[in-house]
Amino acid sequence: MFSRDTWKEIFEAIRKNKLRTFLTGFTVALGILIFVTLFGMGNGLNNTFMKFFGDDATNILRLFPSQTTIPYGGYKAKRQIEFKNEDLEDINKNFAALIDYITPRISRTVLVTYKEESDNYNTRAVAPGHQFSEKTIIMKGRYINETDLAERTKYAVIGRLIERDLFQDEDPIGKYIDVGGSAFKVVGVFQDDGGDNEERYMYIPYTTRQLLEGNNDKVDQIIVAFNQSIGYAGALQFENKLDEFMRKKKVISPDDPRGIFIQNVADDLKRNQQFAGVLQLIISGIAFAVIISGVIGISNIMLFVVKERTKEIGIRKAMGATPGRITGTIMLESIFITAIFGFVGMIVGIIILNGIQGETLEENYFITKPAINTGTAVFVTILLIVCGSIAAYVPARRAAKIKPIVALRDE
C-alpha cells in the first residue's frame, strides 16, 4: 500500500488535478487557520483577564470598619467602628504564627504640586508590607521603610504616571513636592501591573499621615497577609478567627452583618478563576464548532471529488483495480492533502498570532499575548486529518463498490 508506485500514482493525481487539490486543501487550511487564531485570541483574552485580577497578592485579608446595626454589649446600634494603631499590634501579637505581614492603609485624595504642574492624586498612607500586598515594583529609589514609620518622615513614593505628569523628563528622586500643603521628598518611583490607575497612586508612611491629621492613631483599613502555607482552608479558618477576635475587641454582636467586614482575596481569586474558566469554555465551544464545520466542509469536498472520479474509478476497475486498492489510493491522497494543508494552516495561524501581538491589540481589544499551545494545535490538526479521512472513506468505499459498468456509464 505504501509502495513507491502508489505514491507516484497519488502525486500524479494531485499534480494533474490542481483545482481539486487546491479546493480540498484550502478548506482544511482555512479550518485550522480559523481555529488556531480564534483559540489564540481566546487565550489572549484570558491572559488580559488574569493580568487585571492577578496583580495583587492572593494571601490577603482586608478588614474594613463600618457602622453597627445591632445594639450589643451596652452600646447602641449605628455606632461607627474605628480601627486604631493598637489593633494592628494586637492582631500581630495574637496571630503571629499565621501572619506574614500586616499593614494599615489610609487613603486620601489631595492636590499635589511640583513647580507649575499640579493635579489631584490618591495618596495611600501605609506600612512597608503594603509593597508586597500590591506587588508594587520599585523602578527608582526605594519604598517606605520602618525608619520612615518611626521618624514620621515626609517621604513619598510616587507612581510612574505621576512622575510623567509632574516631572516630565526630570529625575524626581530627592525633589520636593507639595502634598496638600506639606512638602514631601520623593524617595522612590514605582510601577504596577494593575493598569494606569494603579500607577497614579502615591505612597507615604501612615504615621506621617496620622501626624498631619492632628497626631491621631486612626486607621482606615487593615491589610493582613497570612502565611501561604496554611492553604485555602486554613485561610478561611483564619478569616473566621480574625473576625471573632475583632468583634470581641470592638464589642460587636457576632450576628451583626455589619460593623466589621473582612474581604478575603483568595475568595475573589477563586471567583475570578471560575469566570476565566467559563470564558475558556465558551472559546473552546466556538473553536469546536469551527472544527465541526471544517469537517463538514471536507466531507462535502470529498463527496464531490469522488463523484467527479466515478468514471475514472470505473475505468480503473475495468483494468483490474480491486475495490481495496481504489479506496486505499483515494484515502491516501486525501490524507496526504489534508495533512500538508492542515499543517500549513496551523503554521500560518501561529504566524498570524505572533504578528498581531502588540500594544494596540492589548489596549483596544484586551487581548494580551495571543498564543496557542503547540500540543493543542497539532492535536486539532491531526483530529481534522482523521475526520477528513473518515469523511473521505465513506464515499470512496461506495464508489469502489459500484459495478464498473455503472461507473463507466457515468458522464
Partner 1 sequence: MIEIKDLHKSYKMGSNSLHVLKGINFTCEDGELVAIMGSSGSGKSTLLNILGMLDGADSGEYILDGVPIKDLNETKAAQYRNKFLGFVFQSFNLINYKNALENVALPLYYQRVGRKERQEKALNYLERVGLKEWATHLPSELSGGQKQRVAIARAMAAEPKVLLADEPTGALDSKTSYEVMDLIQKINDEGNTILVVTHEEDIAHMCKRIVHLRDGVIVEDKKIEQVRAESYVQ
- What whole-number distance in Å separates Cα of residue 230 and Cα of residue 57? 15
Choose between 17 and 376: whose C-beta lies nearer to partner 1: 17
User: DSSP class of residue 411?
Assistant: -
Q: Shortest gap between Cβ of 29 and partner 1 (angstroms)?
A: 23
In angstroms, the CA 295 to CA 316 distance is: 28
SS3 110: strand
For partner 1, which is the closer residue by CB, 205 or 314?
A: 314
Beta carbons within 10 angstroms of residue 201's beta carbon? 22
- C-beta closer to partner 1: residue 195 or 324: 324
Binding mask 283-312 for partner 1 (x = CB under 8 A): ----------------------------xx
Binding mask 91-130 for partner 1 (x = CB under 8 A): ----------------------------------------
If binding is defined by CB under 8 A, does position 19 make contact with partner 1? no
Dist CA 282 CA 264 (whole Å) = 28
Nearer to partner 1, 12 or 82 (CB): 12
Question: At closest approach, how far in Å is the CB of 344 from partner 1?
Answer: 24
Q: Taking contact as CB under 8 A, which single stretch among the options 3-11, 126-134, 145-153, 381-389 is the one that binds partner 1?
A: 3-11
Q: Is 197 an interacting residue with respect to partner 1 (CB under 8 A)?
A: no
Does 10 engage in binding with partner 1 (CB under 8 A)? no
d(CA 49, CA 367): 9
Q: Is 13 in the site for partner 1 (CB under 8 A)?
A: yes
State yes or no: residue 397 binds partner 1 (CB under 8 A).
Answer: no
Q: Which is nearer to partner 1, 233 or 319 (CB)?
A: 319
Site string for partner 1, 347-386 (x = CB under 8 A): ----------------------------------------
Q: Is 410 in the site for partner 1 (CB under 8 A)?
A: no
Q: Which is nearer to partner 1, 18 or 93 (CB)?
A: 18
Supply the minimum distance, in Å, between the C-beta of residue 22 and partner 1.
15
Distant-in-sequence, close-in-space partners of 115: CB < 8 Å, separation ≥ 6: 166
For CA atoms 191, 195, 199, 201, the dihedral sign is: negative
Pick the closer one to partner 1 by CB: 251 or 408.
408
Q: Are 355 and 409 in contact (CB under 8 A)?
A: no
Q: Which of 174, 192, 173, 190 is nearest to 138 (CA)?
A: 190
**Interface with partner 1, residue 317, by CB under 8 A:** yes
Of the pair 160, 316, the CB lying nearest partner 1 is at 316
b/e burial code for range 232-262 (CB count within 10 A of at least 16 → b): eeebeebbeebbeebbeebebbeebebbbeb
Cα–Cα distance measured from residue 136 to residue 339, given in angstroms and rounded to the nearest whole number: 49
Binding segment (CB under 8 A) for partner 1, from list 30-38, 44-52, 225-233, 314-322: 314-322
Q: In whole angstroms, what is the distance from residue 62 CA to residue 221 CA?
A: 7
Query: Rule CB under 8 A: is residue 7 a binding residue for partner 1?
Result: no
Burial (CB count within 10 angstroms: exposed 0-12, middle 13-18, buried 19+), residue 120:
exposed
| Residues touching partner 1, count (CB under 8 A) | 28
- Backbone dihedral region for residue 211 (phi beyond 0: left; psi -120 to 50: alpha; all else: beta): alpha
Q: How many angstroms separate the CA atoms of 60 and 101, rounded?
A: 10
* CB-count exposure of residue 391 (10 Å: 0-12, 13-18, 19+): buried
316 binds partner 1 (CB under 8 A): yes
Tell me which of 282, 289, 318, 394 binds partner 1, using CB under 8 A: 318
Question: 196: which strand partners?
Answer: none
Binding site for partner 1 (CB under 8 A): 4-5, 8-9, 12-13, 16-17, 311-312, 314-325, 400-401, 403-405, 408
